[in-house]
Structure 1
Amino acid sequence: MTEVLRRYGPVLTGVILLAVALWLALLVVLPQVMMVDFSFRPSLPPSRLGGPEDVYTVRNYATLWTNQIHLAIFLKTIWASALVTATTLAVCYPVAFYLAQVASKRRLPLLILMLVVPFWINELLRTFAWYIILAFNGPLNVLLVALGIFDEPQRLLGGDAGVIVGMVYVYILFMVFPLYNAIESLDRNQIEAARDLGAGWIRIHWRVVLPHAKPGIAVGCIMTFMLAAGSYAVPALLGGPQSRWFTEVIYNWFFEGGNWNQGAAYAFILLVLCIGFILAALRLFRVGLADIAK
């Protein structure tokens, strides 16, 4: 704060703080407060609002535990989002390490550009691209049949596998760049010293690189999990009736069932889940908010 005051002066600093406070109040705090208020009220017609039936209740929250189908979808969303996060971490870690510690300074801008350019396209279009790739007569099935892996085309859409593959691709940058930023600050001399002392690559990564990259891993896992758990477009396009996501249930409550109170309760449960994952990730990787902010 002292540095901000020195750089911008008291007037401009006050304007910036006021703008941030208004942004947080109007776009973050107020919508969440309204959602919580909706979630604890019954769904009533306008003529009965404010009447004796319009009281706070936990009935909307209890619906999730009594509806076995919705509970199963909720639990499936948790483990599938965790699987998306773990798969994205496994795919992105070698890429981030190569960019941060192996790639030359001349090639690095081109490699990063190659990663970023596909994501200039809208998320829906990128998801539709995977819809075409995974289609029954799509290029992936044609390739697998041509290589003799499958005797006939397989249905790759409509299940959890297609949704997970699509999510890993859609959210890959949210894992790559936090990892890259963390690993890039590692002094290469530490890697060379570990190698000179006889450590193999697995031990170097386990004892040197991974401990240094913990803040980046935590940020990447948090962002990927939250985006995966809150995704609607990817499961709606690549999934099917057997691979419904919890966000699709929330959407149905709001826009098809017309029960905003029940939808708000489900949305708040999902929000609590994401907050719980953030706290668990911070504790698991033993990092604080200050470490992540770096």
Structure 2
Amino acid sequence: MFSQLKQRFGSPLSVAIVALIAVWLIGLVILPQLIMVNYSLKPNLLPGEIGGVQDQYTLSNYATLFSNTIHLSIFFKTIWSSVLVTFLTLVVSYPLAFYLAKVATPRQAALCLLLLIIPFWINEILRTFSWYIILAYKGPLNALLLELGLINRPVRFLSGDGGVLIGMVYAYILFMIFPIYNAIESLDSNQVKAARNLGASWLRTHYRVVIPHAKPGIATGCIMTFMLAAGSYAVPALLGSPGSRWFTQIIYNWFFEGGDWNQGAAYAFLLLIICIGFIALVMRVFKVGLGDIAR
């Protein structure tokens, strides 16, 4: 890697690039995770007790999750809901990505991409709060449905996980569209035409030609969407009802309301382990490596 950078940029600039990458990895990725693991293995003690007899490594913070049935159910619900968000985002994003890459003219693709990107110039909390207004009991969506005669009375969209799922699909759709779009764009259009000319239906063409070529992009989009959904706090906090708590809200409570950073670190590390396991599973299912995802 360094030799390739040296040939392209020269020695001084290559050293600077490698040094910046090392600082970023060590200072912003590795050290915070190590500190979190260290916190998670220590009991929550008073300042005067730190360094004393009770200040020893223990797995009790991890055992708390498995002994607390409410937190454990929220943990599994968060993982399942994140998988569902990933699937729904993929279903919405794939047709749009194919249209942008292979069907739309350059002018149409540019306009569509602009319309997708402009809302993301606004802060995520404001975008999420706009969905809170849209999905409210007396919001514009219910007013429209009532006006069209599709419903007899307003629907409580925010009473369960429905509002959270909608908000997350909207919030993370670009993280799914762009990797798939980049993968499909590199596909030779003649392969699609050849499949159609040989009598393959559109469904079979996508299954046998387009999707195998776009696997790295699909895997990247799924990984990014799942990790963002599993680690989201703003969307479930604004769009979720009291009975639809997210695991990140439990972690937040441990840190900032309960004051137990050790317990919060243990919960956060368990969530990180699940996310890493999901990445490995997706890579195995799509049969792609880290090099394919990093393209």
Q: How big is each residue's C-alpha offset from its partner over 1:160-196, in whole Å with a ceiling of 9 and x where there is no partner?
A: 0100000000000000000100000010000110011
Runs of 4+ in 1 over 3 A off after TM superposition: none
Identify the residue that residue 110 of structure 1 maps to in structure 2: 111
Offset, 1:7: 2.3
Please tell me whether residue 164 in structure 1 is matched to residue 143 in structure 2.
no
Identify the residue that residue 188 of structure 2 maps to in structure 1: 187
Identify the residue that residue 24 of structure 2 maps to in structure 1: 23
Identify the residue that residue 127 of structure 2 maps to in structure 1: 126
Amino acid at match of 1:48: E
Identify the residue that residue 214 of structure 1 maps to in structure 2: 215
Equivalent position SS for 1:107: helix
Identify which range, 16-25 or 164-173, moves more after superposition: 16-25
Aligned counterparts, 1:118-157, within 5 A: 118-157=119-158
Identify the residue that residue 48 of structure 1 maps to in structure 2: 49
Amino acid at match of 2:166: V
Alignment partners' CA distance in 2, 1:94 and 1:152: 33
Q: How big is each residue's C-alpha offset from its partner over 1:83-119, in whole Å with a ceiling of 9 and x where there is no partner?
A: 0000000000000000000011232212211111111
Identify the residue that residue 274 of structure 2 maps to in structure 1: 273
Identify the residue that residue 205 of structure 2 maps to in structure 1: 204
Offset, 1:3: 2.9
Aligned counterparts, 1:216-255, within 5 A: 216-255=217-256
Alignment partners' CA distance in 1, 2:27 and 2:289: 27
Q: Unpaired runs of 5+ in structure 1?
A: none
Alignment partners' CA distance in 1, 2:98 and 2:165: 23
Identify the residue that residue 8 of structure 1 maps to in structure 2: 9
Alignment partners' CA distance in 2, 1:16 and 1:186: 32
Amino acid at match of 1:140: L
Q: How big is each residue's C-alpha offset from its partner over 1:177-224, in whole Å with a ceiling of 9 and x where there is no partner?
A: 001000000100001100111000010011001101100000000000
Q: How big is each residue's C-alpha offset from its partner over 1:216-265, in whole Å with a ceiling of 9 and x where there is no partner?
A: 00000000000000000000000021100000000000000000000000
TM-score normalized with structure 2 length: 0.98
Alignment partners' CA distance in 2, 1:42 and 1:240: 32
Aligned length: 294
Offset, 1:13: 1.0
Q: How big is each residue's C-alpha offset from its partner over 1:119-173, in whole Å with a ceiling of 9 and x where there is no partner?
A: 1111001001000000010001111112222211121113101000000000000
Please tell me whether residue 91 in structure 1 is matched to residue 92 in structure 2.
yes
Identify which range, 237-246 or 16-25, moves more after superposition: 16-25
Alignment partners' CA distance in 2, 1:263 and 1:147: 47
Identify the residue that residue 63 of structure 1 maps to in structure 2: 64
Q: How big is each residue's C-alpha offset from its partner over 1:43-68, in whole Å with a ceiling of 9 and x where there is no partner?
A: 00000001010100000000000000
Equivalent position SS for 1:164: helix
Q: How big is each residue's C-alpha offset from its partner over 1:13-59, in whole Å with a ceiling of 9 and x where there is no partner?
A: 11211121111111111110000000000000000001010100000
Q: Unpaired runs of 5+ in structure 2?
A: none
Identify which range, 105-114 or 88-97, moves more after superposition: 105-114
Alignment partners' CA distance in 1, 2:240 and 2:209: 40
TM-score normalized with structure 1 length: 0.98
Amino acid at match of 1:289: L
Alignment partners' CA distance in 2, 1:240 and 1:210: 37
Alignment partners' CA distance in 1, 2:58 and 2:11: 47
Equivalent position SS for 2:107: coil
Identity fraction in percent: 65
Identify the residue that residue 38 of structure 1 maps to in structure 2: 39
Equivalent position SS for 2:243: helix
Alignment partners' CA distance in 1, 2:280 and 2:99: 29
